[in-house]
Amino acid sequence: MFLTSTTQSPSPKTLRRKRIPIHPKHPPSPTKLDYADDGITPDIETNIRPGVMIPHDILQPGEAIILLLKPSLLYIVLAPLRAIAILAFLTLATLVANNMYTFTNPREIIFIGGVAIAARIFWQFVEWLSRTYILTDQRLIRIKGVTTVSVYETPLSNIQQTEVIRSIREQLTALGTIAFSTAGTGHIDAYWVMLNNPYEIQNTIIKTINRYHPRNKRNP
């Protein structure tokens, strides 16, 4: 008789993996903007437009924003309208010439013309992104430029005249451009182009100047 000894190997120990939570780095919070809310002049409203980008150091300490604007989205199509019309005319003229002499496929002409028009509109979109108009309780600021950024700013006390200018394109689309003249220049210094509700914005600018920098204010 044989005795068979069966030895059962111990069960392997269960390995426990300790999960260490990894907290993703939080992106830096955007620059905090202070908007005017003094309750004294309720008809001066702050208009915030989506997609507005301003440099983090453009505002001075204690400076409050009254208006933060960009041109109307129609600016992307209306501003290059002449260039778009020229490109469309050249495409059509090339199609007519090709119909007479047949030197290439008409689809290629349409494709090239379409790409040229789309590229022009895309460039205008990038230019629209670069434009920002800011009215604070101290200054008027205009930022524009893609390859070269131009920042114009002047104290509210220097503004002598505001004028709403409306071209035919702007009249047909209920838009308007505001021109600003400052003391000592004798000409227009800056424009806020193709804005929605231009007369309301002009009225807000005038009220802001009168509220924070009245002409008849006397020094104590």
Residue, of 184 and 99, whose pLDDT is higher: 99
Q: Are residues 110 and 143 in the same domain?
A: no
In a domain, 4, yes or no: no
Average of per-residue pLDDT across 68-84: 95
In a domain, 161, yes or no: yes
In a domain, 26, yes or no: no
Q: Are residues 144 and 115 in the same domain?
A: no
Structural domain total, the chain = 2
CATH number of the domain bearing residue 195 = 2.30.29
Percent of the chain topping pLDDT 90: 58
| Phi, psi (rounded to 5 degrees) for 121 | -65, -40
In a domain, 169, yes or no: yes
Confidence band of 17 (pLDDT split at 50, 70, 90): very low
In a domain, 18, yes or no: no
Q: Are residues 94 and 143 in the same domain?
A: no
**pLDDT of 129-140, one tens digit each?**
999 999 999 999
> Is pLDDT of 21 > 70?
no
Q: Are residues 117 and 168 in the same domain?
A: no
In a domain, 86, yes or no: yes
- pTM of the complete model: 0.74
Confidence band of 42 (pLDDT split at 50, 70, 90): very low
Residue, of 217 and 108, whose pLDDT is higher: 108
Q: What is the DSSP letter of 22?
A: -
Residue, of 104 and 5, whose pLDDT is higher: 104
Domain interval for residue 94: 78-124
**pLDDT of 172-190, one tens digit each?**
999 999 999 987 777 899 9
Q: Are residues 98 and 140 in the same domain?
A: no
In a domain, 159, yes or no: yes
In a domain, 188, yes or no: yes
